[in-house]
Amino acid sequence: MIRLFVFGTLKNGFPLHDPCLGGATYLGAYHTVEPYPMFIAGQWFAPMMLDKPGNGFHVSGELYEIDRARLAAIDAVESIGKAGNFRISIEVIPVEGGGRGHAFAYVKSENLARAVHSPCLTDYQDRRFIPRWNRKPADQPLPADPPDDCPEG
């Protein structure tokens, strides 16, 4: 079985949870051991975590245990294989304390994080995300740099 750390729209109660993780084994509330920059960005107001460990804040999320078939399906939703979209292994720890462990997490490159719609976050609770089934053709937003309030390590 595979451990997957989710911090945004895949969390319980958010738009992609039921289609992607409904029925998966929930292991609890976790956060990243290393800080990462995470914020709301892009034309669909998506939560994005950059692969820049040591920068930003400890990111809160949920840990799930899934099989390879479900991982492949979520990879497709997360655009793995397309430029700027990655699945990496990170270290996570339970919020209530306990042993550290490794899990996969989805991260984006900085060039996808344009325009930025929030400061650097520790916990995603924003409800502006536009899922694929609600998207309409739109102009690309103006470029903007990642928020400057993400501490650098």
Cα-to-chain-centroid distance, residue 142: 22
Q: Supply the DSSP symbol for 65.
A: E
Half-sphere exposure (CA, 13 Å, Cβ side) for 69? 1
Separation in Å, CA 39 to CA 52, 56, 70, 117: 13, 10, 26, 7
Rounded to 5°, the CA angle 56-105-20 comes to 130
The residues carrying an active-site annotation are 78
